[in-house]
């Protein structure tokens, strides 16, 4: 292991996002990413199964954090409050990433139908386990699914919002405000 090895994962992510943004996801190869990051292709494949995983690695961890947030909500919390705790957990994890890298990731996914479908499928899978977690808290259908799906919509929209130039709130604040907007809309319609 060379001197830079400990950070090679981060450098590979940065190099991949730069290349996906510049020349397109489909046109970029693992070899190009490795070269740009100054590591071997073998090092790339030690960190990522393929070039899609650069964008979706950490998905299971994020899901587990969100579910832990929902499951750990006080028993008095209703479904939306419990989902809001899950979103706080997501913000704590996602907020650590650099905003510029998140912005690149969002743009790369938005530009590619296959990646968009993968992202939607990921969020749908999250919603499904969140709904199951809400069931365990005694929440019935359709509330459990409505709360879980609303949470994933809020996560998706908040990420877009967070990386826009004129946004000053942090990710957690954006999501909490969105939950508030959902409540206001539902009441005041």
By CB neighbour count within 10 A (0-12 exposed, 13-18 middle, 19+ buried), where does 184 fall? exposed
Q: Does 149 bind its own copies (CB under 8 A)?
A: yes
Query: Contact, 88 vs 172, CB < 8 A?
Result: yes
In order, the DSSP letters of 2-50 are -TTGGGHHHHHHHHHHHHHHHH-STT--HHHHHHHHTS-HHHHHHH-SS
Between CA 118 and CA 35 the distance in angstroms is 27
Q: Does 143 bind its own copies (CB under 8 A)?
A: yes
Between CA 60 and CA 129 the distance in angstroms is 11
Window 74-133: residues binding its own copies (CB under 8 A): 77-81, 113, 116-118, 120-121, 124
The residue within the footprint of its own copies, chosen from 16, 19, 87, 147 (CB under 8 A), is 147
Q: Judged by CB, which is closer to its own copies: 1, or 187?
A: 187
Q: Judged by CB, which is closer to its own copies: 1, or 185?
A: 185
The residue within the footprint of its own copies, chosen from 2, 6, 138, 188 (CB under 8 A), is 188
By CB neighbour count within 10 A (0-12 exposed, 13-18 middle, 19+ buried), where does 137 fall? middle
Closest distance to its own copies from the beta carbon of 94 (Å): 17
Q: Judged by CB, which is closer to its own copies: 41, or 81?
A: 81
Per CB under 8 A, residues contacting its own copies are 77-81, 113, 116-118, 120-121, 124, 141-143, 145-147, 149-150, 153-154, 157, 161, 178, 181-189
């Amino acid at each position: 292991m060379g001197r830079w090895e400990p950070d090679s994962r981060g450098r590979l992510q940065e190099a991949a996002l730069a290349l996906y943004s510049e020349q397109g996801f489909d046109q970029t190869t693992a070899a190009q990413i490795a070269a740009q990051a100054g590591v071997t292709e073998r090092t790339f494949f030690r960190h990522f199964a393929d070039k899609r995983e650069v964008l979706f690695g950490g998905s299971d961890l994020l899901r587990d954090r969100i579910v832990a947030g929902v499951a750990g909500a006080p028993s008095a919390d209703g479904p939306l409050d419990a989902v809001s705790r899950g979103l706080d957990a997501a913000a704590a994890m996602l907020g650590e990433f650099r905003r510029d890298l998140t912005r690149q990731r969002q743009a790369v996914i938005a530009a590619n139908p296959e990646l968009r479908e993968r992202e939607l499928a990921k969020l749908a899978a999250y919603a499904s386990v969140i709904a199951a977690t809400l069931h365990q808290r005694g929440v019935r259908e359709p509330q459990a699914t409505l709360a879980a799906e609303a949470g994933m919509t809020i996560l998706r929209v908040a990420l877009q919002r967070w990386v826009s130039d004129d946004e000053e709130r942090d990710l957690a604040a954006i999501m909490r405000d969105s939950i508030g907007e959902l409540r206001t809309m539902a009441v005041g319609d």
